[in-house]
Amino acid sequence: MPTSRRQPDPGPAYDAAVRRTFADVVNRLTREWSSLGSWRQGDVKGFQRRVLPALLAGERRIAALTTTYLEAEYRRLFNEPSRVALDLEAVTGSAVRNGVDPADVYERPFKEVWTALSNGEPLDVATERGANRLETLAKTDLQRARTLTSQAVMERQPRVTYYMRELQGEYDCALCLVASTQRYRKADLLPIHPGCDCRPTPVRADFDPGQVLDEARLEAIHKAVEEALGVSARDARSVDYSKIIVQNVHGEIGPVLGFKGQRFTGPEDLRIPK
């Protein structure tokens, strides 16, 4: 039965658990990368055997944490229970990249190394580029597991109509700052960018988070937009952020935040083996 007791905010504990999971997975993958000693074709499969299970475990952990958080947040907001049976295969593994095999994805850091070496870069520079690519791929896949889980859970929560993005701090950029002022419909996937770590938070249908900006947030947005785009506006109404920050559909990872004029690999560019 519903209880009238005010539920505690589950956000801080959830955020901390997600950050630990991100850090654990990324650290595991980067340690394996650094310990290779050789980054030839013959090293790829052994690397994948060691890191892909850790990545999948991290994605499943994120999915479980997100489900628990959104159920608790629903109880807190609406004073009603929420129980969702989540299909983990639909939100982890190849699902986070529109069916692309993770083995294909996690060969890309090696290709980054090979390309750099073919262009005359020294080995340490080439392997560092591969490590950066690996970290970006892992963070993006973990965030995608959170995105897909959030949509799947909120679709089953009848009183949730909208959600907003909560900034988490470490990777905030102009894109996230501006996007955090907007209201999104729950039917829309959370648009991300590589390295994004924003938390989706459900809101009541009669609450418009796009209109609720404290002075510190507003000033940060002005500064970020000015630095990134050369657009200065002390009056928020003089800049239409919806015409600056756009969503493009990436062939693998779905909606991606970007600045107007950027082009992304789209679904028509993606070939998925049958």
Say whether both 191 and 274 belong to one domain: yes
Give yes or no: residues 179 and 235 share one domain.
Answer: yes
Tell me 93's DSSP state: G
- Tell me which of 104 and 225 has the higher pLDDT: 104
Domain end (from 103, 134, 160)? 160
pLDDT given at position 246? 54
Domain residues for 32?
Answer: 1-160
Lowest mean pLDDT across 7-16, 33-42, 215-224, 257-266: 257-266
- Look at residue 270 and tell me whether its pLDDT is greater than 60: no
Q: Which of 130, 160, 190 is the last residue of a domain?
A: 160
* Whether 173 and 218 share a structural domain: yes
The whole-number average pLDDT for the span 198-207 is: 71
In the block, residue with structure tokens 């005359």: 120
124 and 250 fall within a common domain: no
Q: If you write DSSP's letter for every residue of 125-192 in order, what string do you get? A: HHHHHHHHHHHHHHHHHHHHHHHHHHHHHHHT-TT--EEEEEP-STT--HHHHHHTTS-EETTS---B
pLDDT tier at 271, thresholds 50, 70, 90: very low
Is 154 in the same domain as 168? no
Report pLDDT digits (tens) over 58-90.
999 999 999 999 999 999 888 888 898 999 999
Specify whether 124 is located in the same domain as 249: no
Bridge partners (DSSP) of residue 184 are 163
Half-sphere exposure of 160 (CA within 13 A, CB side): 31
**Band of residue 120 on the pLDDT scale cut at 50, 70, 90:** very high
Q: What is the pLDDT of residue 164?
A: 74
Residue after which a domain boundary falls, among 96, 127, 160: 160
Amino acid at residue number 76: R
Residues 8 and 142 in one domain: yes
pLDDT at 55: 98
Q: Are residues 19 and 132 in the same domain?
A: yes
Tell which wins on pLDDT, 84 or 93.
93
Q: Residue 65 is encoded by which pair of tokens?
A: 């944490």
Instruction: Give per-residue pLDDT as tens, 126-176.
Output: 999 999 999 999 999 998 999 899 989 988 888 887 777 777 655 455 556
Residues facing 257 on adjacent strands: 247
- pTM for this predicted structure: 0.76
Adjacent-strand bridge partners of 258: 246
Report how many domains make up the chain: 2
CA distance 135 to 129: 10
Predicted confidence band at 198 (pLDDT cuts at 50, 70, 90)?
A: confident
